[in-house]
Amino acid sequence: MAKLNQIIAVEKGIKSRSFQDLTEAHHAVQKPALLSGISRTYQAKDEEGEQLPPESTKVQARAEDVLRQMGTTLTRLFDVTATKDATNCVARADVVVDDRVLLSDVPVTYLLFLEKQLTDLHTFVKKLPVLDAAESWVFSDSADCWSTEPVRTIRTKKVPRNHVKAEATEKHPAQVEVYYEDIAVGYWTTVKFSGALPAKRVSTLLERVEKLQQAVKFAREEANNAEAVDKHVGDRVFGYLFA
């Protein structure tokens, strides 16, 4: 069984490490280049057409993976802080969400901690990347991220053409004007990938964080109404020191 001084000794290191992980995760999901991917293949119009290699960029960061990693990191921090506060405090209350007890018998000091953490999490969730609403997205199990349907576009090439403005005569050569015409030479098939989240998913996460924030505030107010435990230790301490 761990003792309070052991919990306090490791709490600072866990807090620092958790904050560092949260900061790195926050920066990761704010870099669109890490969250975006694409796959393009080219097909020439005919066998004599120019052959181009496929192009692809993989999604390097996925918002859902970041959410899971942060959940794992913060679990240890929440647990350690809860253990410390439970040892120090006797003022407690239940955190109730939608008429269901989510956390029971919570110390008031831990409720204060939850309020601060939920404020940071609210900022983090509010800035989560959202899928481009201009595209139609479906989840791809093979790519383990969101993707669009393949879109086929034409690749054209400018070909010079001659336009005879005036026919040749015995005295003058023909007047010819050169112009360029766009001719289809092949097709691009493009699929876009993204590690961002659907807007509805982010909205749901924000709603849950805000609901829990309110529940924690209500619980803190209830805990603060608890009667203080009156302790008398001065006589014994000074009776020993100044005897």
What pLDDT digit, counting tens, does each position of 64-97 carry?
A: 777 777 787 778 888 888 877 766 657 789 999 9
- What's the distance, Cα to Cα, between the start and end of the chain in Å? 36
The structural domains of the chain, with segments of one domain joined by +, span: 4-150+190-241
Per-residue model confidence as pLDDT tens for the chain (243 residues): 566 567 767 888 988 888 888 888 888 888 888 888 899 988 888 877 888 888 888 888 787 777 777 787 778 888 888 877 766 657 789 999 999 999 999 988 889 899 999 999 999 999 999 999 999 999 999 999 999 999 999 999 999 888 877 777 777 787 878 888 999 999 999 999 999 999 999 999 999 999 999 999 999 888 867 655 444 445 465 457 554
Q: How far is CA 192 from the centre of its chain?
A: 18
Specify the pLDDT at position 124. Answer: 96
Specify the pLDDT at position 231. Answer: 47
Specify the pLDDT at position 55. Answer: 85
Instruction: With CA atoms as reference, report the closest residue to 48 among 202, 157, 161, 174.
Output: 157
Let me know if 223 is exposed, middle or buried by CB neighbors in 10 A (0-12, 13-18, 19+).
Answer: buried
| SS3 state at 228 | coil
Specify the pLDDT at position 226. Answer: 62
Instruction: With CA atoms as reference, report the closest residue to 186 among 39, 34, 29, 46.
Output: 46
